[in-house]
Amino acid sequence: MSAPLVTVVIPTHGRPDLLRETLATIVAQDYSGPMEVLVVHDGEESDPSLEQLSGPGRAVRATVNTRARGLCGARNTGVLASAGTYVASCDDDDLWDPTKVRKQVERLEADPTLVVVGTGIRLLMGGDRGDVEWVASEAIVSHERLLQNRVKELHSSNLMMRRRAFDSVGLYDEQLPHGYGEDYDWLLRASAVGRVGVVQETLADIRKDVPSWFRDRWVNTATALEYLLEKHPDFVDDRRGHARILGQIAYARAAAGERRTATRVAGRALSRHPAVPYAWLALAVAGPGTDHQRLLTMARRFGRGLS
């Protein structure tokens, strides 16, 4: 049988040079089957010159977001336009190992119960901070683990889903405030209807050395996390998972300068699970004279980012 078509969806806005570096690693995949690469420009005109980056069996197409403005609408535009058996997502600044697509397709073809597959990742921290390797610890990620842990090896730049999974899981939630955590929300829904897997190799480089759209937009982050907590009531049934989300909300509120709210929410988190690190970070940030960005950078070095 011929290898199935894989569609790659890349939302983008204002990063033409980084986008081209990302596309180069996608077009260079050693996968024997065909791939279509859909670049979805969000809030900007499409760049037809990107199609010149196509290669044999690697058709690059540029289009514009026709749905709600933001990441969710852009991803959905690509998913709905996709023709592949599998859909792979990638951000416009991250990089793929040449074997990534092949190994994910092999995993999905070998296990029909899987609806989505991630991979190990490498965080490119930049400067003298060094890179952080995030090797996948488990081949299968349960719904319970996703409630308790964001699971970094399931990242918006390394997920590959069955196209038909969107029929049962649904599209990305365009009502999600500011589009923050859109991949996490989708994974929570997917893990409730099917199995989530991981290729236990580091196959994607995630850039942390370039500005993130979400950096320093703490109120946006807190609002989105509060939305996710309300949308997924099973968080409340899991003390550790509930405490984690509350701690993240508390941290974001503290970083936004809302110290009283942060302290109150951190207290709720600690009452659910006293070992949750995010709540303690929130209380530290809520104190006087604390540099929240330095604390967050230190947390990332130990594998404890806000996500």
Which tokens sit at 126?
């930049």
Torsion of CA 49, 212, 228, 114, to 10 degrees: 60
Whether the per-residue pLDDT at 299 is higher than 60: the answer is: no
Helix, coil or strand: residue 43: coil
pLDDT score at 302: 44
pLDDT score at 55: 96
Percent of the chain with pLDDT over 90: 81
Which tokens sit at 38?
């859909």
User: What would the pLDDT profile of 86-105 be if each residue is shown by its tens digit?
Assistant: 999 999 999 999 999 999 99
Which of 46-55, 128-137, 140-149, 283-292 is predicted with the least confidence, judged by mean pLDDT? 283-292
pLDDT score at 285: 87
* Burial class for 305, CB neighbours closer than 10 Å (0-12, 13-18, 19+): middle
Contacts of 121 (CB under 8 A, 6+ apart): 134, 152, 153, 155, 157, 158, 202, 203, 204, 205, 206
pLDDT score at 304: 45
Ramachandran category for residue 13: left, alpha or beta (phi over 0 → left; psi -120 to 50 → alpha):
beta
Residue 235: how many other CB atoms lie within 10 Å:
22
pLDDT score at 303: 44
Question: Residue 26's Cα: distance from chain center in Å?
Answer: 17
End-to-end CA distance of the chain: 40
Q: Which domains does the chain have, with CATH numbers?
A: 6-207 (3.90.550.10), 218-301 (no CATH)
Whether the per-residue pLDDT at 224 is higher than 50: the answer is: yes
pLDDT score at 209: 77
Whether the per-residue pLDDT at 264 is higher than 70: the answer is: yes
d(CA 87, CA 85) in angstroms, rounded, equals 7
Q: Side chain identity at 203, as an amino acid letter? A: L
- Packed helices 259-272 and 239-255: angle between N→C axes, nearest 10 degrees: 170
Q: What is the pTM of this model?
A: 0.91
In this prediction, residue 214 has a pLDDT band, given cuts at 50, 70 and 90, of very low
**Mean pLDDT of all residues belonging to the chain:** 92
* Residue keyed to tokens 């550790």: 240
Q: What is the mean pLDDT of residues 182-200?
A: 97
- Residue 34 contacts residue 5 (beta carbons within 8 Å): yes
In this prediction, residue 129 has a pLDDT band, given cuts at 50, 70 and 90, of confident
- Residue 58 contacts residue 39 (beta carbons within 8 Å): no
| Nearest by Cα to 7 from 70, 75, 107 | 75
